[in-house]
Amino acid sequence: MSPKHLENMYDAVIVGAGAAGLSAALGLLRSPEVGDMRASGTEPKILVISKLQPLRSHTGSAEGGIAAALGNVEQDDWQWHYYDTVKGGDWLVDQDAAKLLAQYAPETVINLERQGVAFSRTEDGHIAQRRFGGHTRDFGGNAVKRAAYAADRVGHQILHTLWQQCVANGVDFAEEWYVTDLVLDDERSRVAGVVAFDTHAGTLHAVHARNVLLATGGAGRLFHTTSNSWDLTGDGMALALAAGLQLEDAEFVQFHPTGLAHTGILLSEAARAEGGVLRNARGEAFMERYAPGHGDLAARDVVSRSIMAEIDAGRGVVDPKEPNGPKDCVWLDLTGIDAEHMERTLPEVVETIRAYANLDPTRDLVPVKPTAHYTMGGIPITTDGEVYRWEDGRRAVIEGLFAAGECSCVSVHGANRLGGNSLLDACLFGTRAGKAIAARLDAPAAGTDDVDPAVDTAASARKSDLDALLSAQRDNEDNPYRLMADLGIVMEQAAAVRCSEGTLAKAADALDGELASRAAALTAHEHSPAFNQEVTAIWEARHLIMLGKAVLTASDARHESRGSLKRTDYPQRDDEHFLAHSMTDASHTVAWQPVHIVDVEPKKREY
């Protein structure tokens, strides 16, 4: 679906239609400022651009829950949630942002329910909650039931509800349009708009906007084994880099402990919350050795490293589908869960195991291994979603540019995200960003149609690039899909769960050399631009290589182990030198921004 016509100037363009982008659109449209505009007969000009039909956004695959200290099942307190988030992020969390996350989590979940999200219920009718890794009572005590859930399909419920609300509010969508360029003014101090490719018509458009919000999701496709959908190619982060901006904490990529062996398909943490147990080749429930008292529900980075430690020690198991393959998995044992209860509370998990592993989880052990799942770093933003550059020891905000969701970094996750905090981050900070955009609608520039020629210039340059991709004579059989697969293998060998100076340097050489050369040489097999998926795949491959370089650069610059980043050559956390956010740009320059410490002083992280 394309808009009936493009406006000369938009009040706001939102790129991405997952939970963050849709929440931003609703936060904007439901604001007092927009209410006043409509009361005076003025309709704001807002466009949501998505490279997918919105209901295919990756939010829909989120399974386990959304965290909030509702206290519906057990006593809970938002300050416990706040502490767990800071500790879970290995003290790289900006505590002012984490306070907002925890304090407004109950309000966010209740508002989702009021909009139509069909959460699972307790017997007395309240929103049901389950345990998730790293969530505790009494500031690090026993595990607490904090994750609100809808069986194991909560993301599906949230995405459909937000989309329906946007449709009801008359949001204008440009579906299956791919944003190729983020355009700033000449001083790189203000946003000017974006360039977008209509994949149906095969045409490029210069889209002028006073405000732009990036909500394009994560970058799991950097790695060969990932739980992310095929479309999570780090577009928003790469657009920011290409526009001369920085990425914050790009080195922190979360590997979820329980990806279904050799598929990467996620088996939700909810499976362990309901009683699933990780076992090694000897049948031992090994997590109690690594995280006494928390076991299988320790934080995700702890569980992923523990699994790899068991495999490295020779206690791994082979995937039954590949009996002659490597012993690079462990077992997920769900047989202790009542079969009827499992079918009711974990339908997605059960269906996935049966369909893709040909196993019955009610009686069979299931092979799992860590899978790339979530990017903690991203485009640096304030708690109101404003994008900034870190320069001269301060935050220089880019006027009119916002971001939200997984492509951004407000730093509520720090070095490791707790389960249930991603949907919360997207909905809560997406809404805040939408409200912040609304507050700018009364700015002096609002209502004018002055356009920045930089957007048209960028569109013209992109048109030349498109023409070159379509018209060039092919002299090899390389293609972007093969390139992305090779990139994923290189990144997995270099930086999956653990890394060192040697592995990072080897990968950097590959990206700077062979892979970059191959990306530059790619052209399309088909010469028509309409419905030509290979064209967007080429741009995605180039985005991933640019982003991969930033991840490797930031990982190499941080000489410590913290959260999801395990450096075998620097095994200890180093608060003296690295209690700071890495700020990496496309020139491979890394600056350091101090972490915002409010009232939770760093200490040793133990589970």
Q: Which amino acid is at 605?
A: R
Rounded mean pLDDT of 464-487?
90
CA distances from 69 to 84, 152, 193, 274 (A): 11, 19, 39, 19
Q: pLDDT tens across 209-232, in order?
A: 999 999 999 999 999 999 999 999
User: Catalytic: 542?
Assistant: no
* End-of-domain residue from the set 314, 347, 371: 371
Q: What is the CATH number of the domain that holds 406?
A: 3.50.50.60
Same domain, 458 and 556: yes
Same domain, 74 and 11: yes
Of 210, 300, 518, 562, the active-site residue reads: 300
Q: Is the pLDDT reported for residue 446 higher than 80?
A: no
Nearest CA to 328 out of 311, 344, 304 is that of: 311
**pLDDT band of 1, cuts 50, 70, 90:** low
In this structure, is the dihedral angle defined by the CA atoms of residues 256, 257, 258 and 259, taken in order, positive or negative? positive
The pLDDT assigned to 607 comes to: 78
Task: Find the distance separating the first CA and the last CA of the chain, reported in whole Å.
Answer: 49
Nearest CA to 428 out of 2, 105, 73, 88 is that of: 105
Taking residue 314's Cβ as centre, other Cβ atoms within 10 Å add up to 9
* End-of-domain residue from the set 337, 371, 405: 371
Residues linked to residue 361 through DSSP beta bridges, in sequence order: none
Same domain, 357 and 208: no
Query: What domain range includes position 317?
Result: 256-371
What is the SS3 assignment for 303? helix
Same domain, 29 and 94: yes
Distance CA 308, CA 257 (A): 9
Query: How are strands ordered across the β-sheet holding 177-184?
Result: 177-184, 191-198, 203-208
**Domain count of the chain?**
2
In percent, the amount of the chain with pLDDT more than 90 equals 93
Which has more confidence, 131 or 472?
131
Same domain, 404 and 513: yes
Distance CA 445, CA 280 (A): 62
**pLDDT band of 447, cuts 50, 70, 90:** very low
The pLDDT assigned to 3 comes to: 83
Q: What is the CATH number of the domain that holds 357?
A: 3.90.700.10
Same domain, 41 and 183: yes
CB contact at 8 A, 195 and 181 = yes
Beta carbons within 8 Å of 2's beta carbon, 6+ residues apart? 174, 175, 177, 198, 200, 201
Tokens 């931003």, residue? 24
Same domain, 179 and 49: yes
Rounded mean pLDDT of 30-35?
95
Q: pLDDT tens across 535-551, in order?
A: 999 999 999 999 999 99
Q: pLDDT tens across 351-385, in order?
A: 999 999 999 999 999 999 999 999 999 999 999 99
Distance CA 92, CA 574 (A): 11
Same domain, 387 and 436: yes
Same domain, 216 and 265: no
444 token code pair: 């002096």
The alpha carbon of 604 is separated from its chain's Cα centroid by a whole number of angstroms, namely 27
**Whether this model's pTM surpasses 0.85:** yes
Distance CA 596, CA 602 (A): 11
